[in-house]
Chain A
Amino acid sequence: MSFISGSECSTSRNPLAHFSKHASEDKSLQRERINPATGPATSIRSQQRPDKELMEDFRPHSFNMDSLRHEMANMQNAPVQSAQPMQQMHTPKWENPQLDSAGPAWSDQFQQQQPMQQQPMQQGRMGTPVEPAMSFRPQMSYMGGPMMGSTAFRPAGMTQQRPNQRVVELDDAKWEEQFQAIEAETREASAEAVDKGKEADTAAKELSDQGDETFHGDFESIWKGIQQQVADELEMERAAHEAAGDRPIWEKDFDQFTTGRPDYGEYLFEQDNKYNEMPDPFEEGVRLMESGGKLSEAALAFEAAVRQNPNRVEAWERLGACQAQNEKEEPAIRALERAVALDPKSQSALMNLSISYTNEGYENAAYATLERWLATKYPELVGEVRDSDPNMNTEDRFALHQRVTELFIRAAHLAPEGLQMDADVQVGLGVLFYGQEDYDKAIDCFNAALAVRPDDALIWNRLGATLANSHRSEEAIDAYHRALSLRPSFVRARYNLGVSCINIGCYREAAQHLLGALALHSTDNVTPGSGSSESETTGITNESSNLYETLRRVFMALGRRDLASTVGPSMNLNSYRQEFEF
């Protein structure tokens, strides 16, 4: 057998390998013993107090909240929050004033809990956190090391603290999460207890006022009675809500959340419309959309259709969708709101409306609209969640978002994979994550939707927009190109393409795309600024100020103030063709 044969070098014969094995074994052994390190830390707090000196050592840190408070503030501000798993979103806000006002009772409790939870974390911070999981070691050996025996530190009651020991293995960030979660639970529980206590007090008073002696001294039955009473009241309140106008609670929420935005008013029609004379402009509009005709033409056709029959929901719906794709958000919202007013269950109008609200920055309205969409498509889901927690009418944007997201995730679970998957649910989820700037998750959702509907130009554009807003302009441009190859007249995708070009500094290309988008806005009816059309004087009612604004800034960036000043509804697009190709 040669000395340099493989087997000689193999780890099984290599003494060094054995050594390292020993070392690691040793470590794991140590770890075993050290893990209960929270035992001593907490046991000092409890009545055991094995060593007075140690107490002194720990005391200076135990109530030092400053660094912690700082951490907490950071945690809240950090966008990381949204990247944490769903469960973390349950954690209520720290400076919830309602909780603070809950009275001294809970705060006492809180004080008692606080040092226990806090101390291990403080220790973790003290040691240089090269190896966070093991940072308890120094303290441990200081207390006598493994010789002391871990059980000696643990009072009988400590076994219930087991979860904490597991946590020792987590790194700092996880610690904070855990800490936050535990604390939130404590707060919630104590706040609840106080509330219930108050209820009990008032109820008891009432009872004695009535002179009802039978319940006195029988706290249990009073308690049960109150619980029943409260439940009944809630039920009655709910029933009353539903009876009044036959509206479920989420509809009330919908109204509440959609009122916080400006009123877009009535839809404004183009003055001259050749489609007005047509027998069936709606069919013509649909044909134009499907054959890849100009969106502005299709919009005119749908306008003519709703003028002929203002109650035709489908026509409003199509008009809104068309205007949104045409990069005319405000007319789109006006049309879609009209469609929803006529038929509150119009799914496509609700979905498109929520997307338009998101684009305009009205997240609350968008979330509430999505919830309404879900309630229309999956009524059983919304009912289920509402039943399990009838107090869900919170006004907090964060809570609203979380609730609607949860609903959509449930809906997504109904058909998780394959062709049965509801692409619209994925789009809705994507919009929800997008609203929270959780772009990676939104991208996943849009990709999932594309797996079901690979030829949907709208979803490609949404994927592109999400990529662009998470600073992945190059990938975004690919997605926009996919959208445009599927639908060359898709003005919004072209606008977005221009925006992405701006973001990567290609102003010339940006100008070309934006001019191309504006060229698509011209119709046989009205050609902006061309001077040849008879109806030129009237101009376009629904212009895209967004496109003009962007183009103006591109010209400024190109150092062309002369061109920037010409941008506007009266611009003559043909005059730019000498310089720009579009």
Chain B
Amino acid sequence: MSLKDPKFPSSEVFEVIAAALKSDSFKKVALEKGDGIFAFTLENSEAATKSWYLDLKNSGTVGVGSAPEGASADVELSMSDENFAALVDGSKSAQELFMSGQLQLKGNMMKAMNAQPVIERAKEFKAKL
């Protein structure tokens, strides 16, 4: 099943992360830095919601749903698809969104902070030897 959902344009980043996690070295760093299961529940322009999880605790995988089978998310981040896109491309900060009530956090808030650097790094383009 494809991670990207055309109805949620920002979901493209999950494919980017999944691609980055294929690398041994990135996975190792991501598990160290992330250390948690993150659920992202996005709401699109048609008011439909969908969740993706980012498991940086056990398997180092990305998938559809709020958590991998048999596990539960440490923290759930809910926001609009548009805000998630802005969060990912850096034009808005998580703090800004949270303060204005556009980002809801459920669960371990401290863990939520761990996701950002991992996503940041997954997006980085690496030069090729």
Contact = CB atoms under 8 A, between A and B. Distances in A.
Contacts, number: 54
A355 interface: yes
A362 B23 contact: yes
Interface in A289-330: 327, 329
Nearest to A324: B128
The 10 nearest A-B residue pairs measured at CB:
A361-B23, A465-B127, A468-B127, A499-B125, A496-B127, A462-B129, A359-B128, A355-B129, A465-B129, A363-B24
Interface string B21-41: 011111000001000000000
B89 A499 contact: no
Nearest to A556: B89
A434 B24 contact: no
A175 B73 CA distance: 41
Contacts of A464: 127
A19 to B, nearest CB: 54
Interface in B96-129: 125-129
A359 B127 CA distance: 8
Given A77-B32, A556-B89, A435 B127 contact: no
Interface string A473-515: 0001000000000000000100110011011000000000000
Contact of A469 (B24, B26, B126): B126
Nearest to B85: A556
A521 B126 CA distance: 21
A495 B128 contact: yes
Contacts of A363: 24-25
B129 A461 contact: yes
Nearest to B22: A361
Which of B23, B26, B32, B129 lies at the interface centre, i.e. has the most chain A CB atoms within 10 A of its CB?
Answer: B129
Main secondary structure of the interface of A (DSSP, over half): helix
Contacts of B23: 360-362
A480 B26 CA distance: 25
Given A77-B32, A556-B89, A362 B128 contact: no
Contacts of A496: 127-128
B127 A361 contact: no
Nearest to A325: B128
A476 B24 contact: no
Main secondary structure of the interface of B (DSSP, over half): loop
A364 interface: yes
A358 interface: yes
A348 interface: no
A457 interface: no
Interface residues of B, number: 12
A327 B125 CA distance: 14
Nearest to A554: B125
B121 to A, nearest CB: 12
Contacts of A359: 126, 128-129
A295 B24 CA distance: 30
A435 B89 contact: no
Contact of B25 (A262, A361, A431, A553): A361
Contacts of A476: 127
A24 to B, nearest CB: 47
Given A77-B32, A556-B89, A362 B127 contact: no
Nearest to B21: A361
A173 B68 CA distance: 42
Contacts of A361: 22-26
B32 to A, nearest CB: 7
Contacts of A180: none
A466 B126 CA distance: 9
A397 interface: yes
A258 interface: no
Nearest to A354: B129
Interface in A502-556: 502-503, 550, 553, 556
Nearest to A260: B24
11 contacts: A329-B128, A358-B129, A360-B22, A360-B23, A361-B22, A362-B23, A363-B25, A492-B128, A499-B127, A502-B125, A557-B89
A465 B128 CA distance: 6
Given A327-B128, A465-B129, 7 more contacts: A361-B22, A361-B23, A362-B24, A363-B25, A465-B128, A499-B125, A499-B127
Interface string A251-266: 0000000001010000
A500 B89 contact: no
A366 to B, nearest CB: 9
A500 B127 CA distance: 8
Contacts of A465: 126-129
B31 to A, nearest CB: 12
Contacts of A500: 127
Given A361-B23, A361-B25, A397-B24, A469 B32 contact: no
